[in-house]
Amino acid sequence: MDKIEDVSSKDSGPKSKDYDENSSRQITLFDIKIDNGLKDDDGNEIPRPFTKSQMRKWLRKVKWENKKADKRAFEKAKAKARRKEAQEENISLGPSRKALKRMKLERPKRSTSLVIDLSFDHLMIEKDRFKVIKQILRCYSVNRRSENPVQFHLTSLGERTKSEMSRHNGYENWDINYHEASYLEVFPKENIVYLTSESDNVIEKIEENTAYIIGGLVDHNKYKGLCLKIAEEQGIRHAQLPLDKYINMKTRKVLTIDHVFEIMLRVCEGMPWQNVLLNVLPMRKGAYICDNRRSSNSSKDNSNSGEDE
């Protein structure tokens, strides 16, 4: 019986450590019950036989699709055991999924919109596109649990991103507004602010009825200044977060997509900028209260888009 080597261990999607350790390292052709083929970046079916590179990509895809149901069942059982253990020890795990759904219907949302611009797919390798999806999941999670959530939008949603998002069951039903169109077609031009570290404008107050755009790009500083260039060419407002005003950092001021999202969300909730920055930024950033006597020459080294993580 032919065996298919497991080539998906590096980047086949979200992982559960226990699940991976208990699952077999190889699958056979007879294990493949789901085969949706392979599509190119424009969503067109790629004819067979595949090239060697396409075959590796297909193997990762079919292994994920065929193990997705088992993995989901494993994670459900694990979550159930965790809830039972917490109940026995009288530990709160926060609101349940049902409670979150009920909160979604009951809580009014702010008129402020946080938008992730997904028009950069062609500039990233597959590994970095997965990182963008992972950060989107974090943004969804923090907004879902917020007492005062914002309007969450994804724009320029292409076939490639849809395919990668489809790894997560029911993503279409998440409390996210999906748009294939650009943010310019979704919001009035005068209500748009692109967040970019290269901007000379600094946000002091988050405005109502305004869409703040976060570049959905993990670029390892390869495309520095791209978001500012786009904003200037489109004639829309742009601004950077007030990092230098409130904190100093021991590392470069490079923020991930989800960090920028959560900072904006918490300020919308009413928290002071300084408290938010100190609470949201990870310890490895070494953020501490800004000493106004020290000059900061790193304002151009900030980033309001993705970072390798």
Instruction: Please give the annotated binding residues for S-adenosyl-L-methionine, written as ranges.
Output: 195, 215, 227, 241
How many angstroms separate the CA atoms of 280 and 249, rounded?
13
| Helical packing angle, 273-280 and 257-268, nearest 10° | 140
Which helix (H) or strand (E) segment is 178 a member of? strand 177-178
Q: Is 14 helix (H, G, I), strand (E, B) or coil?
A: coil
**Active-site residue (options: 219, 244, 258, 301):** 219
Whole-angstrom CA distances from 221 to 12, 42, 256 are 25, 26, 12
User: 3 φ, ψ to 5°?
Assistant: -115, 145
DSSP class of residue 300 equals G
Whole-angstrom CA distances from 198 to 210, 290, 309 are 20, 20, 21
How many angstroms separate the CA atoms of 113 and 178, rounded?
13
How many angstroms separate the CA atoms of 197 and 300, rounded?
6
Render 120-143 in DSSP notation, one character per residue: TGGGS-HHHHHHHHHHHHHHHHHH
How many angstroms separate the CA atoms of 58 and 64, rounded?
10
Binding residues: 195, 215, 227, 241
* Known active-site residue 219: yes
Alpha helices in the chain (DSSP H): 17-22, 52-88, 97-106, 126-144, 159-165, 226-234, 243-246, 257-268, 273-280
- Residue positions annotated with a catalytic role: 219
